[in-house]
Structure 1
Amino acid sequence: MTGNNAKIDHSIKGKTVIIAGGAKNLGGLIARDFAEQGAKAIAIHYHSDAARPDAEATVAAVRALGAEAAAFQANLTTAGAVEKLFAEAVAALGRPDIAINTVGKVLKKPILEISEAEYDDLSDINAKSAFFFLKEAGRHVNDNGKIITLVTSLLGAYTPFYAGYAGTKAPVEHFTRAASKEFGERGISVTAIGPGPMDTPFFYGQESAEAQAYHKTAAALSTFSKTGLTDIEDIVPYIRFLASEGWWMTGQTILVNGGYTTK
């Protein structure tokens, strides 16, 4: 395949995209941004009935920007549910060129207080669903496609109280490396992005007022952020890049956090 890159279109324009957790927050912004970049069709996954209005609003926004769009509800903590999501999305919109997984669950709690049920829930959402999303993306994404998973900058931090969250995101680093080797012969790049603490409801639901104040000053560039945290608008350009001309980056976990932490 050496020398064939000039023949490959790595732009987002005209491409079909599937976004797990695409109804709102970062996922919703990615969907809108990719529609603005000229994506042909975007499949929007959402988890629960509570997120349906957000998913419908995102679908409407994507269509208004000129792309096809459809929403699909699924609890992605079983292999069968992930298989069904991809099957339905492919039937409705065609095989994806780009697959993005933003699904995750945060828990801030001391190890001594985490129950088995809480651990299993975190593991199912953060690790198991990511594994099977990668598996189905590997089956369905077109050659020369892109697969991107959201993880966390806590993978580069030494901190208490996030063992359950960061620990169940950590396997995705190896899933990403292995998948990049296995899918690379088809020209597919596989990457993971680890944002810092983001200005979304997921952050505020876990942190006390004191902790919020600390995190809003902890990044090297906090003073230049509108919230002091990682804003979702700060992450989208990196996802856009990796899903397009950044294709040569593969098998990597990239921490995007304004200098909050590094490996």
Structure 2
Amino acid sequence: MTVRSLRRAAADRLREAGVASPERDADELLAHVLGLGLGRLPLVESVTPEQQQAYDALLARRAAREPLQHLLGTAAFRHVELAVGPGVFVPRPETELLAGWAVERAREVADPVVVDLCTGSGAIARAVADEVPHARVHAVELDPDAHRWAERNLAGTGVDLRLGDMAEAFDDLAGSVDVITCNPPYIPLTAWESVAPEARDHDPHLALFSGEDGLDALRVLEARAARLLRPGGWVGAEHADAQGESAPALFVAAGRWERVRDHRDLAGRPRHVTARLAP
């Protein structure tokens, strides 16, 4: 079998298993096995029996809907690469937009203080620290397993990482924070069956589900952000695409926020809400 035929057969196998991006995933896994960049795959003329065996093993796991990033051991996020695996939520491309918004807000402040609640793998905190080197970045994660991944990803960045509940975190920063970000759990418990197997069966449920309407964590965030932010400080939070009205309405109803706005992702779906604490 030629390498081209091998790649085509692998993509067909993943497509039949319901994988959303079969060609890309098949190529990512083959490049991983061969230790090459994706751009060099067309130059490969053959693989060894050992390489094909390793490739087949990874394809079987991906066909069983194990996340691609778990198999690769890494996930790209903006300009950084994160270590990921069992026990931590795999960062999604959609969240890069929220991180970019946070970077822009932090750059508007001379000495910005940024807090990332529900940090998970540390993706947003790492991105802000990378792109706004003068920012003082703090992050918190409740789940001990996810916290260990965040420790690994934030090592050497200067980020103040803590283990704890966002509802009680950072009392020492009350009234002094410029920007708060959060990618909270936001899936309603009733939507269990609609969640992709990669997330439902492999991401921590603590990072996915948030009460009957999916907004329980966002309610906690709204109250905590109001305590931590300085007047005029900003909060941004990701939400489900079905919450494009309910998430902003939660901040509006609190009566202490201005410039409440919802933002769409690259596919045009409602994806994150931002608000400014009124003076």
- TMscore range, shorter length: 0.3 to 0.5
> Could you say which structure has the higher strand fraction?
2
Whose relative contact order is higher, 1 or 2, with alpha carbons under 8 Å and at least 6 apart? 1
> Could you say which structure has the higher helix fraction?
1
